Structure formats: C-alpha cells, structure tokens
C-alpha cells in the first residue's frame, strides 16, 4: 500500500500539532449514538447489541474539533483521494496495510450518556453529515460499533475458538489484522423508525423506504455496505445491512452501491 506510506510525513505534522489533536479528542465529536452494550463480536452473524432506544442526541461540537485538527489533514486541497480504497477481508493478502493506523487520526465519539466509540476522523465527520441529512427527513440512525483494536479482535477470535472450536472461529470470526473494524473506517449502525431500534435484517427490511434512504444518504457521504446478500462467497460474510465502510469518495461509493457490487468486485480482486 504505497500510498499509505506518503502519510508517514504526516507523522511529523501530527507531532507538531499533538496538542491540537489532544484538544480535538477532548472535545470529542458528539454524534448521535445509541446507548450500546458490549461491543459485539465480529462474526458472520455479527449480532448487534444495545440498550433501549435512546433519544437521539445531536450536539454540534464537531465543527470546532474539525477546525482544530485541520492542519493534520492529509488532503491539502480538500479533494478526495483514493487512499481509503484498500481492501480488508479474511484473505491472507488483504490484511490491514502496514502503517495504516499511523496515517490516520482516531477520534472519540460520544453520546450524551458518555458512551464512547472510536472512529477514524473523516469517517466520524461523514457519518455525522449523513445523520444530519437523514434527520432532516425524519430518519434516524445511530452508531452501534466502530473501531476495534487488533488486541480486541484477537481476543474475540480466541474466545470464539475456545467456546466453539478452532474451525468455527476460522469460519466465522476475522482473525487479528483482518477485520474492517480495525481500520477505524467501518461502522455498524442501528436504523431507528418511529422510535423502534431496528437491528436485524428482518427488522430493517420491514421498513424498505427508510432502509433505502439510509443506504442512499450513506453512499452520498462516502459509505458503502460491505456484506451484501448473494455475495457471501466473495465477502466471506453473511449479509449485514448495518455494516458500512467509509471510502472517502462519494462518487465511488455511489457507483458501488448503485451497481450493487462489493468492494472486492470494484477493485477487481475476486
């Protein structure tokens, strides 16, 4: 992943602006986010968990944080880049690129109850924009899972292997270094319609209009669904209507979503 290497120079900038980064984290971007229980396992079924429906809280603290961290940004002219267009899946050759986590900024995203998720900064901002747009249409969603450290992913794998056997873990859980959640670019969301939290495929598909609008607006802000029905053999996962991956390129995201293809197919690595 040669392009990620370019970001190494940004490490210097990040050092220079460390104080600002710390400030931005302290002033964590407040996103609409459901109360959530333990972060769930990354598995083929990847059940979402959470507490009861929370009133969606929107605090527009993101703008100040965004301004504060601007010098650290890796795209000088504000244009989109293809740096985020890399593939992470279970295949040995598609681990998280070396240096990726050093090239990005992770920010904390909190709801009013103080529950915290960690998300890559641009991903967090794009999701906030998508939420704002959806809320204007009376459609709500909230974060249910986001960044997961490699250590966490490995412990999930080991727990599943201990409980259900090595073969089960190998088939159902991404090994360390191979979960999109480790990139900071993947988020799981809950769709909320008329105050009801929709977490399962069945629940979400019962509201096709809102679901379609969620997908449309998320794509408009640079997100794609990663695990599609009928593409299980390509992605290695059962369908997940809640797992979005940020690409930092709305045109590409809309193209991928419009064609109903996977990132694997788009990148030609199937």
Q: Which is nearer to Zn ion, 83 or 188 (CB)?
A: 188
Whole-number Å distance between alpha carbons of 57 and 253: 27
For position 148 contacting Zn ion by CB under 5 A, the verdict is: no
Token match 């993947």: residue? 186
Q: Which is nearer to Zn ion, 188 or 264 (CB)?
A: 188
In this structure, the dihedral spanned by the alpha carbons of residues 119, 120, 125 and 127, taken in order and rounded to 10 degrees, is -60
Q: Provide the CB-side half-sphere exposure for 7 (13 A, CA).
A: 22
Q: Which is nearer to Zn ion, 172 or 243 (CB)?
A: 243
**Candidates 91-99, 108-116, 198-206, 238-246; binding stretch for Zn ion (CB under 5 A):** 238-246
For Zn ion, the binding residues in 246-265 under the rule CB under 5 A are none
CB 179 within 8 A of CB 88: yes
Q: Which of 240, 254, 264, 265 is catalytic?
A: 240
Select the residue whose beta carbon is closest to Zn ion and give its number: 243
Closest listed residue to residue 128, CA positions, set 201, 191, 58: 58
**Candidates 8-16, 84-92, 196-204, 237-245; binding stretch for Zn ion (CB under 5 A):** 237-245
Q: Which is nearer to Zn ion, 21 or 253 (CB)?
A: 253
Q: How far is the CB of 39 from Zn ion (least distance, A)?
A: 10
Q: Which is nearer to Zn ion, 65 or 247 (CB)?
A: 247
DSSP string, 101-150: HHHS-EEEEE-TT--EEEEEHHHHHHHHHHHHHHHHTT-EEEEEE----H
Residues in binding contact with Zn ion, number by CB under 5 A = 2
Question: In sequence order, what E strands does the chain have?
Answer: 29-30, 106-110, 116-120, 140-145, 186-193, 196-198, 223-227, 240-246
**Residue 240 appears among annotated catalytic residues:** yes
Q: How far is the CB of 239 from Zn ion (least distance, A)?
A: 12
Q: How far is the CB of 53 from Zn ion (least distance, A)?
A: 20
**Candidates 8-16, 19-27, 103-111, 239-247; binding stretch for Zn ion (CB under 5 A):** 239-247
For position 188 contacting Zn ion by CB under 5 A, the verdict is: yes
**Candidates 81-89, 114-122, 181-189, 252-260; binding stretch for Zn ion (CB under 5 A):** 181-189
Q: How far is the CB of 262 from Zn ion (least distance, A)?
A: 15
For position 243 contacting Zn ion by CB under 5 A, the verdict is: yes
Beta bridge partners of 107: 119
Cβ neighbors of 184 (< 8 A, separation 6 or more) are: 101, 104, 106, 118, 119, 120, 123, 146, 147
For position 245 contacting Zn ion by CB under 5 A, the verdict is: no
Q: How far is the CB of 152 from Zn ion (least distance, A)?
A: 13
Distances in whole angstroms, Cα of residue 73 to Cα of each of 172, 209, 225 = 36, 36, 25
The rounded radius of gyration (Å) of the Cα atoms in the chain is 18
Q: How far is the CB of 46 from Zn ion (least distance, A)?
A: 5
Enumerate binding residues for Zn ion (CB under 5 A).
Answer: 188, 243
Give catalytic residue positions. 240
């Amino acid at each position: 992943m040669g392009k990620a290497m370019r970001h190494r120079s940004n490490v210097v900038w990040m050092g220079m602006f460390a104080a600002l980064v710390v400030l931005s984290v302290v002033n964590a971007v407040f996103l609409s986010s459901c109360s959530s229980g333990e972060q769930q396992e990354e598995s083929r079924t990847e059940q979402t968990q959470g507490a009861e429906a929370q009133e969606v809280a929107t605090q527009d603290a993101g703008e100040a944080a965004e301004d504060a961290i601007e010098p650290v940004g890796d795209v000088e002219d504000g244009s989109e880049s293809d740096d985020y267009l890399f593939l992470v899946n279970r295949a040995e050759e598609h681990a998280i690129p070396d240096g990726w986590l050093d090239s990005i900024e992770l920010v904390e995203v909190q709801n009013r109850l103080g529950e915290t998720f960690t998300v890559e900064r641009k991903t967090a901002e794009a999701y906030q924009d998508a939420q704002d747009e959806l809320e204007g249409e009376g459609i709500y969603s909230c974060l249910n899972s986001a960044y997961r450290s490699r250590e966490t992913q490995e412990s999930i794998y080991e727990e599943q292997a201990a409980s259900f056997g090595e073969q089960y873990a190998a088939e159902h859980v991404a090994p360390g270094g191979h979960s999109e959640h480790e990139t900071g670019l993947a988020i799981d969301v809950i769709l909320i319609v008329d105050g009801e939290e929709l977490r399962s495929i069945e629940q979400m598909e019962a509201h096709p209009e809102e679901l379609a609008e969620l997908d449309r607006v998320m794509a408009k802000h640079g997100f794609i669904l990663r695990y599609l029905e009928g593409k299980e053999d390509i992605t290695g996962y059962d369908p997940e209507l809640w797992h979005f991956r940020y690409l930092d390129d709305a045109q590409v995201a809309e193209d991928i979503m419009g064609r109903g293809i996977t990132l694997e197919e788009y990148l030609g690595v199937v």
